[in-house]
Amino acid sequence: MAQLLHLLLNVSEKAANVARVCRQEAPLFELLVQEKTGVDKNKKFVQDFKTLADVVIQEMIRHDVCAQFPELSGFIHGEESNKFENGLGESVTVTVCNKEEDTAALLAKVLDGDQTAASLLTRAIHQDLQLKDEAAESLQVPISPADVGIWIDPIDATSQYIEGKEEEVSEDGFCPSGLPCALVLIGVYMRATGQPVMGVINQPFSQKDLTGKGWKGKHFWGVSYGTVNACSFTHPMRSLGKKNKYLAVVLSSSERQEVKDALAPLCNGRLMYASGAGYKILCVIQGLMDVYVLSEGSTFKWDSCAPHALLRSLGGGVSDLAQCLSAISDGKKGHTAELTYHNPHAGCLGVERWANQGGLVAYIDSTVIDRVVGALVGKI
């Protein structure tokens, strides 16, 4: 599995580079935006977007992983449909071809014959990028690729990526909105149990480069399987000190008022808000926040699988909020209701088959989830 982790780190960096290329070339970016409709539309947003960058990143990851691990074919799932409609109304199935010229020809068809844009994107897709991470390369985990599946969120916080506000991360590391919230998420789960066992997060827009014109990225990974718990981020800041009387709680700005009111006393009235489900969980991973709470079913398996694996490697997890509330009401511990990633919801269509329908609570310290769920029980 060290080989798979190393590969996922490399493809995450390729994905981050594609995302940066698409943002840096404004004429290209204007061609890429397409509105999601029908069963693919996320109900949380008034206007939710699909970008060609999303689709290309997803299919590039699928192509590169299956080339090295053919046993994963059919078990790599993504947020995006790879059907894309060009300006002529033609539906094109976007795939990454073995030959660069074939990929360029396909993308040119999507881009209404714009050879320059297609060539620019193709070079980024076929570029051989390597991330050096000795800890990841030396890790020994006894899992067969034939026993796992993969969830991809090619660009989490798509709205922040499209809007493109160049907010930089503050000194304490927290960024409530803007490009740093846009993440590439690749999560690995066990096919038999749905348990998340490996996650890679790439933050393409972590900080401005020395020229001030481009961006540098950052990557994180975690593995949790059996007795193996390893993470590239080993010392969350808040976990190093003594137990805090007040919690750092991060929410979506659209969270229900009842939830805000119930949680405010736990954080001395200072609730924090940020964009992107993946980014909010990353804040918990980094120790910037103690807990991320979401009361609605507006996130999906591709949002949570990768960061969930990192949290598990640090002793935390991501639980179903509705099940936690039910368990507390029955006198049980709430943090046993961990999300799983292998079974769709019966009777649902489109993306709703893979929604985290009961909401979620992301945490590192299990005593935190007990306090949060205790505050919410009977309130929502």
User: What does the pLDDT look like over 217-273, one tens digit per residue?
Assistant: 999 999 999 999 999 986 665 554 446 789 999 999 999 999 999 999 999 989 999
Nearest one of 101, 99, 68, 253 to 177, comparing CA atoms: 253
Q: What is the pLDDT of residue 344?
A: 95
> Band of the pLDDT at 43, cuts 50, 70, 90?
very low
> How does pLDDT run across 1-42, given as a tens digit for each residue?
789 999 999 999 999 999 998 888 766 666 655 455 555 555
Q: What is the pLDDT of residue 325?
A: 92
Residue 192 C-alpha from the chain's centroid: 22
The strand pair at 291-294 and 272-273 is best described as unpaired
Q: What is the pLDDT of residue 228?
A: 94
Annotated binding-site ranges: 79, 153, 155-156, 303
Q: What is the pLDDT of residue 262?
A: 97
Set 59, 80, 255, 303: catalytic member: 303
Set 80, 153, 296, 365: catalytic member: 153
Three-point CA angle 120, 42, 284, nearest 5° = 85
Tell me the average pLDDT of the chain.
87
> Band of the pLDDT at 307, cuts 50, 70, 90?
very high
Contacts of residue 303, defined as CB under 8 A and 6 or more positions apart, other chains included, come to 153, 156, 185, 277, 278, 356
Set 13, 59, 114, 156: catalytic member: 156
Three-point CA angle 273, 276, 277, nearest 5° = 95
Q: What is the pLDDT of residue 240?
A: 43
3-class state of residue 148 by DSSP: strand
Q: What is the pLDDT of residue 332?
A: 66
Compute the average pLDDT of residues 201-218.
88
Indicate if 172 belongs to the active site: no
Label residues 216-247 b or e (16+ Cβ within 10 Å = b). ebbbbbbbbbeeeebbbbeebebeeeeeeeeb
Set 13, 54, 114, 255: catalytic member: 54
> How does pLDDT run across 281-291, given as a tens digit for each residue?
999 999 999 99
> How does pLDDT run across 171-186, given as a tens digit for each residue?
678 999 999 999 999 9
Residue 67 has pLDDT above 60, yes or no: yes
With pLDDT > 70 as the criterion, what percentage of the chain qualifies? 87
Q: What is the pLDDT of residue 233?
A: 81
Annotated binding-site ranges for Mg(2+): 79, 153, 155-156, 303
Label residues 49-62 b or e (16+ Cβ within 10 Å = b). bbbbbbbbbbbbbb
Indicate if 54 belongs to the active site: yes
Residue 251 has phi, psi (to 5 degrees) of: -135, 170
Runs of H (alpha helix) within the chain: 2-24, 26-32, 52-68, 100-110, 115-126, 134-138, 158-163, 237-240, 257-263, 277-285, 301-313, 321-329, 366-376
Q: What is the pLDDT of residue 210?
A: 78
d(CA 77, CA 80): 9
* Inter-residue contact 175 to 37 (CB < 8 Å): no
d(CA 55, CA 42): 16
d(CA 336, CA 218): 31
Set 51, 103, 122, 158: catalytic member: 158
Compute the average pLDDT of residues 95-99.
94
Residue 47 has pLDDT above 60, yes or no: no
> How does pLDDT run across 132-161, given as a tens digit for each residue?
898 998 898 889 999 999 999 999 998 898
Q: What is the pLDDT of residue 100?
A: 95
Tokens 């985990």 correspond to 141
Tokens 């909010």 correspond to 280
* Inter-residue contact 161 to 154 (CB < 8 Å): no
Retrieve residue 15's tokens.
């994905």
* Inter-residue contact 156 to 201 (CB < 8 Å): no
Return the higher-pLDDT residue of 232 and 82.
232
Contacts of residue 334, defined as CB under 8 A and 6 or more positions apart, other chains included, come to 319, 323, 324, 325, 327, 328, 361, 369, 370, 373
Set 125, 150, 155, 369: catalytic member: 155
Indicate if 365 belongs to the active site: no
Return the higher-pLDDT residue of 170 and 298.
298
Q: What is the pLDDT of residue 316?
A: 94
Retrieve residue 142's tokens.
């006894």
Beta bridge partners of 272: 250
Q: What is the pLDDT of residue 188?
A: 98
3-class state of residue 214 by DSSP: coil
d(CA 160, CA 167): 10
Retrieve residue 102's tokens.
């074939």
Indicate if 102 belongs to the active site: no
Indicate if 303 belongs to the active site: yes
Q: What is the pLDDT of residue 280?
A: 98
Q: What is the pLDDT of residue 32?
A: 52
> Band of the pLDDT at 168, cuts 50, 70, 90?
low
CB hemisphere CA count around 175 (13 angstroms):
24
Q: What is the pLDDT of residue 220?
A: 97
- DSSP assignment of 160-196: HHHH---PPPPTTS--SSSGGG-EEEEEEEETTT--E
Cα 178 to Cα 167, 274, 280, distances in angstroms: 5, 9, 13
